[in-house]
Amino acid sequence: MDLLETLLWGSPSLWGGGVAHSVLILALTITLGIALGKVRIAGISLGVTGILFVGILFGHLGLEVNKHLLQFLRELGLILFVYSIGLQVGPGLFASFREGGVTLNKLAALVILLGVATTVALYHITGLPITTMTGIMSGAVTNTPGLGAAQQAYGDLHAGANAPDIASGYAVAYPLGVIGAILTFIALRLLLRIDSRREEESASSGSESQKEPTTRALSIEVANEAIEGKTVADLRHLLLRDFVVSRIRRPGGEPELADASTALHCGDRMLVVTAPKDAEAVATLIGHEVQTDWQAAASKMISRRILITRPELNGKRLAELRVRSLCGVTITRVNRAGIDLVAAADLQLQLGDKVTVVGHELSVAHAERLFGNSLKRLDHPNLIPLFLGIALGVVLGSLSFRIPGIPQPVKLGLAGGPLIVAILIGRFGPHCKLVTYTTMSANLMLREIGISFFLAGVGLGAGADFVPTLLSGGYVWIAYGALITVIPLFAAGLVGRFRYKIGYHTLTGVLAGASTNPPALAFASEQTASDAPSVGYATVYPLAMFLRVVAAQLLIILFA
């Protein structure tokens, strides 16, 4: 019993209870928190945030960890968490502004702006500290990075001081942040008198899913006499558009591969891969579309997707590889993160891309050796870009800069700096020959470890003051959090429906993404057989996550 008591509550003769004590408390907090997060009530669970509540309970019971160690774990966990998020959303952050996603991102930005406005209004009306209101805002939208950003910003402004009411406000507002979003979706459905059958048909047909194909394959017969005898290279100069000739079939002949020097003649049939927006122009210049069964006609030719796993190919342009002359195959598409891209000559490859090649079986085998096609190679993590990026993020977060009208110099902090660097590395790293590829499982493991350390540290640090705060009037914070949750979602839902004519299922996904609220997305997805909510969520999530982190820091900087 003496040993157990020493391990749990520490000993005055040991530094913070000793290393064994600190590790034990941290491990128990995370273990029990994850177990609590898996408990479902009416289909709703706390998820990883259960760690925060267990940490608060342990802190209230006096199971403490040395404050310096606690601060280190909290900051390290925050860095790992936001950095892994940045690597994940980096490629999609810029792509989400493509046509079809701009409207949804505008709506998400409106949700965030209304949430900040509601928070500031409550701050002036109630007289609560801005630290408390920022914590409530982060909990109301279930945004843990915002919580970390607010704490870091406060520490930077006040020489490392801690504001436990930020975590308390977050913990109090979090449960109703989940429930309030779901209740708002139900209220919108009733108020807008949603026709479930019509919405389901619209979402399933893809008209509301905002999914736009990135490539299109066309069978075209050459009928334009103006291009008689011209080569594929000449055709590219005439069209000034990206396209790939996958195969060509002469009248009465077998399909064969084409390259830049292949001459075109009237009556030839070509299988062309291009972007949907260029399809009509390509078909019109060459001739007209025809129906051709290329699989039946190409008895000796196969098509296969090959995984790029050789690090030396990272950042290489397709034209540099001379795949056609070296291997005798044609690359028609490049699949990156589930999105097909036209295999243009200047397209830069990234580790983990999947290229679709067409050719004879022996030639395809040569291409496999060229690209690697070995999953085992991708299992080995690239740690240099990871720690280099974290180092650069810490440096960026520590730099001070001034914003007109704000007397205090501003820092991005340990939340903003690594996040921005990770986004930039995730998007532009391969262009600098930097191998940034990590498997989804590795990224998820890094993220979960980071958020577990962070939430355990926050909970243990805030536990001693949580219950007294709650009993002395903190329960009113629940109502403030509900307002911050419901008002922006309800108002933006009406704007999205009546102004932008967004379908209900896509709308709920966008609102869940704007709140970075996975439980709300789970509820929205259960209401339809289509993937419209998931697509809407994924479209706005990168920008919403970035804006949430920035908004939390700005509130602290401007009003603390």
- Asked if residue 405 and residue 367 are part of one domain, the reply reads no
**Domain assignment of residue 28, yes or no:** no
- Asked if residue 192 and residue 102 are part of one domain, the reply reads yes
Query: Residue 93 is inside which H or E element, if any?
Result: helix 67-95
- Asked if residue 491 and residue 350 are part of one domain, the reply reads no
Give the largest CA-CA distance in the chain.
95
> Rounded to an integer, what distance in angstroms lies between the CA atom of residue 541 and that of residue 145?
13
**Domain assignment of residue 551, yes or no:** yes
- Asked if residue 420 and residue 504 are part of one domain, the reply reads yes
Length of the chain: 560
- Asked if residue 237 and residue 91 are part of one domain, the reply reads no
- Asked if residue 429 and residue 328 are part of one domain, the reply reads no
> Rounded to an integer, what distance in angstroms lies between the CA atom of residue 437 and that of residue 484?
37
How far the first Cα of the chain sits from its last, in Å, is 46
pLDDT number for residue 84: 80
- Beta carbons of 236 and 243 less than 8 angstroms apart: yes
Which of 13, 8, 39, 11 shows the shortest CA–CA distance to 26? 8
- Asked if residue 293 and residue 191 are part of one domain, the reply reads no
> Rounded to an integer, what distance in angstroms lies between the CA atom of residue 21 and that of residue 14?
9
Which residue type does 482 have? A
Q: Which two tokens stand for residue 35?
A: 């177990």
Give the end of a domain, one of 336, 355, 377. Answer: 377
Instruction: Give the gyration radius of the chain's Cα atoms.
Output: 28
- Asked if residue 290 and residue 226 are part of one domain, the reply reads yes
Cα dist from 305 to 80, 294, 355, 364, 438, whole Å = 33, 17, 5, 10, 20
- Asked if residue 237 and residue 149 are part of one domain, the reply reads no
Neighbours of 522 (CB within 10 A): 18
Give the end of a domain, one of 325, 346, 377. Answer: 377
Q: Which two tokens stand for residue 18?
A: 């000793």
In degrees and rounded to multiples of 5, residue 101 shows phi and psi of -105, -15
Cα dist from 421 to 78, 358, 463, whole Å = 14, 38, 33
- Beta carbons of 313 and 345 less than 8 angstroms apart: no
Range of the domain at 291: 216-377
**Domain assignment of residue 66, yes or no:** no
Structural domain count of the chain: 2
> Rounded to an integer, what distance in angstroms lies between the CA atom of residue 367 and that of residue 94?
31
**Domain assignment of residue 142, yes or no:** yes
Residue 307's domain is classified under what CATH number? 3.30.70.1450
- Asked if residue 280 and residue 158 are part of one domain, the reply reads no
> Rounded to an integer, what distance in angstroms lies between the CA atom of residue 81 and that of residue 451?
6
Give the end of a domain, one of 351, 377, 403. Answer: 377
- Asked if residue 229 and residue 190 are part of one domain, the reply reads no
**Domain assignment of residue 72, yes or no:** no
Q: Is 331 helix (H, G, I), strand (E, B) or coil?
A: strand
Label the pairing between strands 330-336 and 339-342: antiparallel
**Domain assignment of residue 211, yes or no:** no
Displacement of CA 517 from its chain's centroid (Å): 13
Going residue by residue through the chain, which has 560 residues, state the pLDDT in tens, using 9 for 90 and above. 565 666 555 555 444 456 777 788 888 899 998 888 888 776 666 677 788 788 888 888 877 777 778 778 878 887 887 788 777 666 655 655 554 578 888 999 999 999 999 999 999 999 999 999 999 998 888 787 787 778 877 877 776 677 778 888 887 887 677 778 878 988 898 888 887 777 776 655 544 434 445 678 889 999 988 888 888 888 888 887 888 888 888 887 888 888 888 888 898 988 888 888 788 888 888 888 888 777 665 557 778 888 887 877 777 888 888 888 788 888 888 877 566 777 888 787 877 788 888 888 888 888 888 888 766 655 566 777 788 888 988 888 777 767 666 555 666 667 667 877 887 887 777 666 666 666 667 777 887 888 788 778 877 877 777 777 777 777 788 889 889 999 999 999 999 999 888 888 889 889 988 988 766 776 777 677 766 776 677 678 777 877 888 888 888 888 86
pLDDT number for residue 375: 60
In the chain, % helix, strand, coil (3-state, to 5) comes to 65, 10, 25
**Domain assignment of residue 38, yes or no:** no
Q: Reduce the secondary structure of 7-34 to three states and give it as a string.
A: HHHCCCCCHHHHHHHHHHHHHHHHHHHH
**Domain assignment of residue 479, yes or no:** yes
- Asked if residue 282 and residue 184 are part of one domain, the reply reads no
